[in-house]
Amino acid sequence: MAKFVAVLVGLVLLVGPLADVSSAASTLKELTSGKGQRQQADELHDRLSITSNTIEDAKAKSKQPTPGQHNHDQAKNQKITINYETRWFRQLVDHFTWANQDTWLQRYLINKDNWCGPNCPILFYTGNEGDIEVFTNNTGWMWENAQQLHAMLVFAEHRFYGQSMPYKIDPTLISPKQTKTLGYLSSEQALADYAKLIYELKHNIFDAKHSPVITLGGSYGGMLAAWMRMKYPNLVDGALAGSAPILQFPGEYNCQDFNKIVTKDYEGYSSNCSRSIAKSWSTIRDYGASRGSAGLSALGRHFNTCQPMKANDTDLLLEMLNSIWVNMAMTDYANKATFLSDMPAHPIEHACAHLKADPIDSGDEDLLAAISRASQVYTNSTGQNACLNITDYVYDPMDVLWDFQSCTEMVMPICSDGINDMFEPEPFNLTDFVQSCKIRWGVDTQVNKIKTLYGDKNLHSASNIIFSSCTRDPWSAGCPQESIDANQIIVLKCPGAHHEDLRPSGPNDSDEMRQVRKQELDTITNWIQKHYSNVRKFARNETLVWASRRTDSSEN
């Protein structure tokens, strides 16, 4: 989600018996309606390109945080080749009035390698606040399970992010002047985009009118995946929402909980680690404000900045470090990853290895040197950067877009008190926040809009949604914590970081993580089976037979 609000687990929580999908037939009859695959709509081919990547080589394009299997044992030690077509779909700018009938091209990525044909399953990723290729390359769950589910994979890009631009905007400008066009940037409009695309995929682009659709996403994308099932149950049969903080809104959670979890992540490796970070804020401020040019020079030397430090750079340095510690907690994955930055497995452990000394016994110079080395696990783990450009880790074009969403509807407060966490005190005042948004964007913040549109903690009217909540993820503070019946809301808790269950499986995965992923797959398979059972009741003269092939090792 934006800076400090990123792009969007302990023991497995069993939620009741699932269908015995391992006994499904080992043969597959393709679903067919006799019509054959329909011709692609001409407008979808305004532009088309074929790309190929591997998950291990995927480079994330954003550095700041914001609110992602088939045979797991085999996948641990192999690369997953990602092949997709890039397509474009003509969308409406405004789905809810006829006052503006402008259209625009939405980018979506598609893979049909494992799709068994007409009416077979579709796994649909609801794009986050960023370039869709980043999430495509980091959502290994979909690629690893596509073969078993015989599924088509679709990754849809969120409006105003990546290359899906309804209107040209200035990504550096925060001003009411942009509200006329950015006013069409909202979760509600984005969901309508996805709904229209899903409908056309099923009814006009492919022979798929009876295909079950499962939405998936992590963080904000996970919120969208869940909301798609809530708002469009006629199009979506179920949702897997990874690390989706749908309750992280005023009145629903304590804004201090986020940074408490971040602090606990560091304390889990070393109490001196979190205490050193806590002490570093005042030390850096002292060097930047009270020691003149010598203090600024020392900061530049310790952090190896590309340009000499100036007085106003101190706040930027502190902001960068705040982002680093939060991002590292979010992505403290069991396996090496390049999602927000190129980092080793368990990056906090590597960072805390530099902060073992008791900060009470450390001199200021030693503390600054240690903090710098710890931060380089995030900024320069490969050792290839000759110097540190602070602005690379502070400014991001996405920040402007997410700032607008935060000011209009996505009010997700995060605060700290400096006592129960390792950060500087930073309270959240809703009145001040709303007033600031009015100045920046000229908008009246609709604080309760999300709760009005999608609900709050009362989720009893929803069904077929898995909320996976990783206990070491700061965003878990805003995620649902309790299941509601095995056929309604299922909460799975796993020992990991931000939507780690949706990431590619790897050699360091715990047994608990593998079990969570298997339970997700079993549940989704059950939903798909029920979908076909229901469709048979009204489908005329059509063969609707689907079976999931399970390898022996994936059942272990």
Give the residue numbers marked as catalytic. Answer: 219, 473, 498
Which tokens in the block code for residue 103? 């259209």
3-state secondary structure of 491: strand
Estimate to the nearest angstrom the gap between the alpha carbon of 471 and the chain centroid.
Answer: 16
3-state secondary structure of 42: helix
- 264 within 8 A of 258, measured Cβ to Cβ: no
- 158 within 8 A of 187, measured Cβ to Cβ: no
**At 89, phi and psi to the nearest 5?**
-125, 130
3-state secondary structure 327-391: HHHHCCCCCCECCCCCECCCHHHHHHCCCCCCCCCCCHHHHHHHHHHHHHHHHCCCCCCCCECHH
- 3-state helix, strand and coil shares in percent for the chain, rounded to the nearest 5: 40, 15, 45
Which tokens in the block code for residue 397? 């074009």
- 299 within 8 A of 309, measured Cβ to Cβ: yes
Q: Name the residue among 111, 178, 161, 235 with its Cα closest to residue 408.
A: 178
- 315 within 8 A of 300, measured Cβ to Cβ: no
What residue spans of 159-291 are helical by DSSP H? 179-182, 187-200, 220-231, 257-267, 271-289
**At 337, phi and psi to the nearest 5?**
-145, 160
- 88 within 8 A of 47, measured Cβ to Cβ: yes
306-343 in b/e form (b: 16+ CB < 10 A) is eeebeeebbebbbbbbbbbbbbbbbbbbbbbbbbbbbb
3-state secondary structure of 467: strand
Tell me the C-alpha distance between 158 and 135, whole Å: 11
Which tokens in the block code for residue 95? 């789905």
Q: Which residues contact 42 (CB under 8 A, 6 or more apart)?
A: none
- 32 within 8 A of 118, measured Cβ to Cβ: yes
Total residues found in the chain within this entry = 556
- 252 within 8 A of 448, measured Cβ to Cβ: no
Alpha-carbon distances of 111 from 88, 158, 271, rounded to whole Å: 14, 18, 46
